[in-house]
């Protein structure tokens, strides 16, 4: 199955985008956000981006070049930041897209920094530097906070990362991998909602069961103790009325 893709890139990396457009058999949305949307309202701008640029696509390809980092500031990165934010948005009329980061050749050494031995687990982890080389929308979803673990497994990440050299060998494979992350995340969300519903149901049943138990034990208590007590009371009343009758008869 082919997935509709949107390419997010800097003008400096246009040749790579052009190469994808002209040489790869990928279902692409041939638009990019280089024309300014005439508004100062950020929420409105994001709405337009989601509606006009991203509503059809399910995977966003982010080209990581030498000018793609947050260090260059908002004004420089506002287009790619908005494109990634819009891609990550999940709501009415726009589902979240998978994100595929492609490390362009000039960035290989800055991103892939070899391996290091971990003082916590004693194992070896790869040092992949996306924090200084990309925007936070990408790096956060590559290194999603994972609690107390010392390393990230493929399953802990939302963004998929690949070098340009590997990507050109099998573009559809990597696009599909990014798409699957999206499915995986949506399933996770659905499972989370299902778990909450089941827990609510359990709580409701438990409350009903508890109330029923309380009711039954009250009834049993009444029957055992109050029942005897009222019988005793009845007997006493009978005796007393008998005595009164006797007294009346005597007088
Ligand atoms: Zn470790």
For 178-205, the pLDDT digits (tens) are: 999 987 776 676 666 777 788 888 888 9
60 C-alpha to ligand 1 centroid (Å): 31
The alpha carbon of 212 and the centre of ligand 1 are apart by a number of angstroms equal to: 52
- The reported pLDDT for the residue numbered 77 is 93
Task: Please tell me whether the overall predicted TM-score, pTM, comes out greater than 0.75 for this model.
Answer: no
Ligand 1 centroid to Cα of residue 112, in Å, is 18
What whole-number distance in Å separates Cα of residue 175 and Cα of residue 188?
20
Contact residues for 59 (Cβ-Cβ < 8 A; gap 6+): 3, 4, 5, 6, 97, 98, 99, 100, 175, 178, 179, 182
Q: How remote is the CA of residue 155 from the centroid of ligand 1, in Å?
A: 16
Give the pLDDT of residue 100: 97
**Which residues of the chain, if any, have pLDDT below 50?**
none
3-state secondary structure of 61: strand
Secondary structure of residue 90 in the 3-state scheme: coil
Report CA(125)–ligand 1 centroid distance (Å). Answer: 7
CA distances from 110 to 104, 133, 209 (A): 10, 7, 62
150 alpha carbon – ligand 1 mean position (Å): 5
From the CA of 157, how far away is ligand 1's center (Å)?
A: 16
Q: How far apart are the first and last CA of the chain?
A: 109
CA-nearest of 114, 101, 109, 69 to 166 is: 101
Looking at residue 32, what is its pLDDT?
Answer: 65
Q: What pLDDT, on a 0 to 100 scale, did the predictor assign at position 200?
A: 86
> How far away, in angstroms, is 152 Cα from ligand 1 center?
9
Torsion angle, CA of 19/25/29/32, rounded to 10 degrees?
-10
Query: In angstroms, what is the span from residue 154 Cα to ligand 1's centroid?
Result: 15
CA of 148 to the centre of ligand 1 (A): 10
124-128 vs 112-117, strand pairing mode:
antiparallel
Tell which residue, 190, 92, 80, 200, has the closest CA to residue 137: 80
3-state secondary structure of 59: strand
pLDDT at 35: 65
Which tokens in the block code for residue 1? 């199955």
> What is the distance in A from the centroid of ligand 1 to the CA of 124?
7
pLDDT at residue 190, rounded to an integer: 63
What pLDDT does 136 receive? 95
Q: Count CB-CB contacts under 10 A for residue 100.
A: 25
From the CA of 116, how far away is ligand 1's center (Å)? 9
User: What digits encode the pLDDT tens for the residues 131-187?
Assistant: 999 999 999 999 988 888 999 998 889 999 999 999 999 999 999 999 999 877 766
141 CA to middle of ligand 1, Å?
Answer: 20
Which helix (H) or strand (E) element contains residue 3? none
What is the C-alpha separation between 65 and 9, in angstroms, rounded? 8
- The answer to whether the CB of 20 falls within 8 A of the CB of 62 is no
**What is the per-residue pLDDT for 146?**
84
Q: What does the alpha-carbon distance between residue 157 and residue 25 come to, in Å, rounded to a whole number?
A: 27
Element (DSSP H or E) covering residue 122: none
Question: CA 235 to CA 191: how far, in whole Å?
Answer: 64
């Amino acid at each position: 199955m082919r997935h509709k893709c949107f390419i997010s890139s800097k003008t400096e990396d246009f040749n790579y985008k052009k190469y994808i457009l002209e040489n790869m058999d990928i279902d692409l949305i041939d638009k990019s956000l280089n024309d300014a949307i005439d508004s100062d309202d950020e929420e409105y701008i994001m709405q337009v981006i989601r509606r006009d640029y991203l509503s059809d696509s399910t995977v966003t390809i982010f080209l990581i070049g030498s000018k793609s980092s947050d260090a260059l500031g908002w004004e420089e990165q506002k287009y790619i930041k908005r494109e990634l934010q819009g891609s990550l948005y999940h709501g009415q009329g726009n589902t979240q897209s998978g994100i595929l980061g492609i490390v362009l050749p000039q960035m290989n050494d800055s991103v892939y920094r070899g391996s290091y031995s971990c003082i916590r687990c004693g194992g070896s982890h790869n040092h992949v530097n996306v924090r200084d080389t990309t925007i936070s929308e990408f790096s956060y979803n590559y290194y999603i906070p994972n609690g107390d673990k010392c390393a990230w497994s493929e399953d802990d990440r939302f963004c998929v990362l690949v070098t340009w050299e590997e990507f050109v060998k099998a573009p559809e494979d990597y696009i599909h991998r990014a798409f699957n992350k999206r499915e995986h995340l949506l399933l996770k969300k659905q499972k989370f909602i299902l778990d909450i519903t089941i827990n609510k149901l359990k709580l409701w049943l438990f409350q009903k069961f508890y109330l029923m138990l309380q009711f039954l034990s009250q009834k049993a208590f009444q029957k055992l103790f109050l029942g005897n007590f009222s019988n005793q009371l009845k007997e006493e009343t009978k005796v007393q009325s008998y005595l009164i009758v006797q007294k009346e008869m005597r007088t």
